[in-house]
Amino acid sequence: MDAAGLFRQMARARAFEDATSALWREGRISGEMHLGTGEEAVAAGVVASLRPGDAVALDHRPTPVLTVLGVDLAGMLAEMLGMESGIHRGRAGHMHLMSRTLLASSSGIVGSSAPLGAGFALAGRALRPGSVAVAFFGDGAMNQGMLLETLNLAAAWSLPLLLVCKDNGWSITTRTDAVTGGDPVARARGFGLETVDVDGGDVGAVAEAAADAIDRARNGEGPSFLRARVPRLDGHFLGDALVRAARSPAGDGRQLLGDVTSAALSRTGGGLGDRARSVVRLLDLMRRARREDRDTRHDPLERARSTVGQEVASRLEAEALAEVGRAVAAAGGAH
Amino acid sequence: MARLEFGAAIDAAVAEAMARDPRVIVLGEDVHTLRAPLFARFGPRRVLSAPISEAAFVGAAVGAAMGGLRPIAELMLVDFVGSCLDSLLNQASKVEGFTHGDWKVPLVVRATCGGGYGDGGQHEQALWGLLAGIPGLSVVVPSTPADAHGLMTAALRHDGPVIFLEHKLLSRSWLEFLGAGGRKTVSFDVPPDGVEGEVLAGEEVPLGVAAIRRHGDGLTIVSLAVGVHRAIAAAEILAREGIDCDVLDLRSVRPLDRVAVVASVARTGRLLVVDEDYREFGLSGELAAAVLEAGLSPRFARVCVDGTIPYARHLEDLALPSVARIAEAARELARVSPDLPGHG
């Protein structure tokens, strides 16, 4: 796909996430809301190589990929609004969006997209020769047993599967490197998978790497692991307590910081060094959370703008906004 | 005596145990954020942030407990137990039986449960029946801050594995974390007496002892967690209609206080179970068996969850046990004379 086509899909995905965010803030979407803002280049770049008959297993941030795949936007929005006109009649919500016709399925259980993707690949090999499956997940999921077992299974059975790790550096409100030994790419290589490591904010690089890996899988040359580094622009979920505390230490963060301070000064507890290490680590987390919050320098959409030029970018963004605006109205989300 | 929120009451019990006993540690996903005060007070060697590896860190907590520590493993949401079921089903629960009581596993698994804030079918389950179905585990589900404090205190003194479930509608910090996220545009049907209350520091609530929340001779309602508050609200409506209810709060699913249930049902001749867990093959059926085994044959009904909990708030309200559903089921039971001597 050409640069304009990729940018168009990214703009659509972003417009959809922004509309979702507004509805969530209005209180019209309930529960947790994990946006995929920052992952648009990965969604557009990978889906560009998919064909009918391919299958996609998704995590708790499924909407950018589903938007690019062509799922009805009004139906997805209506689903998140809990309406009978939603694609699952309000039963599923954003973490459980699925499309049987597009062979796409998401899940809110971290790591579960990997074995699901392996199963899709198995069915595809048997029933739709030349088809592939893609599993999307985050770096946090790289420490989940079922995912690590799937790396082995995919290699052992030489499945037509692309495993896409959207590496944003976070596992909920934990820095992934603080709880991870080794490197995800080296780990996948250790299981015998082909690996590729790309800048997930560079849509051209993602598209090229994904195309190679998907071609190999189609030709029966086995599974690949693609790590794409992405920013996390809206926290773990909307209203992420750590992000809010970091952004407004005197407001939303006041209770947390007050509780931490008085606890650190308790008469009993750990040694002074232990307490200091904890406090320093918490402050560091807040600093990192603040830095990533809607960081325009690392925003893939901003970066992709230069690949198509300002004029084309503005036109495509306006079209995407109009399309999503119509979907919001059709879903009954407009005021 | 202090007035505490539900979650703070649990944390106070944990802090007390950690200050008293260096073997008590906390481990789990995000605990530096979720338990930031404990993290700051006791340091990163006793409050350990884990990767998203439930099978590893709950499994490790079992080993740590067998090795001499008294760990609290935090599972965030009980729905995630699927990823680490082996450590509970085949490891923690079995050691005492295999060693004929010689080796015990002093482990607490702390997890949130329950719905009512629109998070969908993978994040709002109760699952206490599933877990209580495993011999060797204790499963506790408090409904008030005092019980939350007292049951956590007891769980931390207990020498076997205890699953401690914290209902999200009772725990303001969890409801804020998962449901509101700083929004003022959403509201939840939160039972006030469950969210905040008087707590006596250090006072233990023994495992396996139910509490009578309301007295009445016409009907026994047995419930736990949020269901207790819904049952009390229903009982107040029913009292005005001439139906007086006993409301029994189980507090523990395993061990189950059969004696308290049987004593109440022997008096009322009618048993209504209000259970946020799945209807079939769970707690409500077990309670029916308990009264039958005691030789009673009461009128029986249950208000439970029938299938996958729907995401949409209005559908979720219909799926979870509500005051209206409880009152309706109670009226239906009260209409029929119980088949017991001395009643009817």
B38 and B183 co-located in one domain: yes
Q: What's residue A1's pLDDT? A: 73
At residue A9 the predicted structure's pLDDT band, cuts being 50, 70 and 90, is very high
Q: How far is B83 from chain A (nearest CA, A)?
A: 8
- Are residues B254 and B175 part of one domain? no
Measure CB to CB from residue B52 to each of A110, A241, A268 and give the nearest one: A110
Return the residue matching tokens 């307590």: A241
Q: Could you list the residue range(s) of the whole structural domain that residue B303 is in?
A: 211-335
Residues in chain B within 8 Å Cβ distance of A271? 43
With contact defined as beta carbons under 8 Å apart, do A154 and A226 qualify? no
- Do B230 and B320 sit in the same domain of this protein? yes
Q: Are residues B107 and B61 in the same domain?
A: yes
A contacts of B82 (beta carbons < 8 Å): 109
ipTM exceeding 0.90? Answer: yes
Least confident of A305-309, B291-295, B311-315, B317-321: A305-309
Instruction: Please give the pLDDT value at position B344.
Output: 38
Nearest-Cα distance to chain A for B145, in Å, is 19
B179 and B309 assigned to the same domain: no
| Cα–Cα separations (whole angstroms), residue A205 to A10, A211, A228, A229 | 14, 10, 10, 11
Calculate how close chain B gets to A280, using CA atoms only, in Å: 9
Tokens of A201: 């904010």
How far, in Å, are B130, B174, B256, B270 from residue B280 at the CA level? 11, 28, 18, 20
What mean pLDDT comes out for the span B181-186?
A: 95
Q: Residue B342: which pLDDT band, with cuts at 50, 70 and 90?
A: very low
Contact B44/A278, CB-based, under 8 Å?
yes
Give the integer Cα–Cα distance in Å for B311 and B317. Answer: 10
Task: Tell me what pLDDT residue B136 has.
Answer: 98
Position B340 scores a pLDDT of 53
For domain A3-234+295-331, give the CATH number. Answer: 3.40.50.970
Q: Do A140 and B30 touch (CB under 8 A)?
A: no
Are A82 and B308 an interchain contact pair (Cβ–Cβ within 8 Å)? no
Binary contact (A108, B122; C-beta < 8 A): yes
Across residues A99-123, what is the average pLDDT?
A: 97
Residue B343 confidence class, pLDDT cut points 50, 70, 90: very low
pLDDT value at residue B337: 72
**Annotation marks residue B100 as catalytic:** no
Model confidence at A294, pLDDT cuts 50, 70, 90, reads low
Query: C-alpha distances in angstroms, B115 versus A20, A110, A135, B123, B171?
Result: 22, 20, 29, 8, 12
Residue B328 DSSP code: H
Q: Does B28 touch chain A (CB under 8 A)?
A: no
Write out the H or E segment, with its range, that includes residue B192: helix B192-195
Note the pLDDT of residue A293: 63
For residue B109, give the CATH number of its domain: 3.40.50.970
Contacts of B53 in chain A (CB under 8 A): 143-145
Chain A (61-120) residues lying within 8 Å, Cβ to Cβ, of chain B: 79, 82-83, 86, 90-93, 95-96, 107-111
> Residues B29, B146: one domain?
yes
pLDDT at B336: 75
Site from B41, B185, B186, B308 to mutate, A interface, most A CB atoms within 10 angstroms: B41
pLDDT at A309: 94
pLDDT band at A297 (very low <50, low <70, confident <90, very high): confident
Average pLDDT score over chain A: 95
Angstrom distance (rounded) from CA B323 to CA B321: 7
Indicate whether B112 and B195 sit together in one domain. yes
Which residue pairs from A281-288 have beta carbons closer than 8 angstroms and sit at least 24 positions apart in sequence? A281/B32, A281/B44, A282/B32, A282/B33, A282/B36, A282/B39, A282/B40, A285/A173, A285/A175, A285/A242, A285/A246, A285/B32, A285/B33, A286/A242, A286/A245, A286/A246, A286/A249, A286/A253, A287/A246, A288/A175
Q: Could you count the other beta carbons within 10 Å of the beta carbon of residue A262?
A: 12
A207: pLDDT confidence band, cut at 50, 70 and 90? very high
Note the pLDDT tens digit of each residue in A233-280: 999 999 999 999 998 888 888 989 999 999 999 999 999 999 999 999
Chain B residue with CA closest to A83: the answer is: B312
CATH number for position B229? 3.40.50.920
CB atoms within 10 A of CB B98: 10
Q: Which of B199, B224, B254 represents a domain boundary (last residue)?
A: B199
Contact B45 A270 (CB under 8 A): yes
Q: Which residues contact A148 (CB under 8 A, 6 or more apart)?
A: A142, A187
Q: Does residue B338 carry a pLDDT above 90?
A: no
| Chain B residue at shortest CA distance from A108 | B122
Cα separation values, B8 from A35, A326, B13, Å: 30, 46, 9
pLDDT at B341 over 60: no
Kindly give, in sequence order, each residue whose CB lies less than 8 Å from that of residue A291, ignoring residues fewer than 6 positions away.
Answer: none
Given pLDDT bands bounded at 50, 70 and 90, which one contains residue B1?
confident
Min Cα distance A206 → chain B (Å) is 26
Share of chain B above pLDDT 70, in %: 98
Size of interface A-B (CB pairs under 8 A): 185
Closest CA to A59 of A190, A189, A230, A224: A230
State how far residue A253 is from chain B, nearest Cα, in angstroms.
11
Indicate the domain borders of chain A: 3-234+295-331, 241-292
Residues B293 and B185 in one domain: no
Catalytic residue among B32, B123, B167, B215: B123
Number of domains making up chain B: 2
Q: Which of residues 269-328 of A touch B (CB under 8 A)?
A: 269-271, 273-275, 277-279, 281-282, 285
**Which candidate, B78, B42, B71, B44, places its Cα nearest to that of B57?**
B71
Q: Within a domain: residue B206?
A: no
Q: Is B122 within 8 Å of A96 when comparing Cβ atoms?
A: yes
Contact A144 B315 (CB under 8 A): no
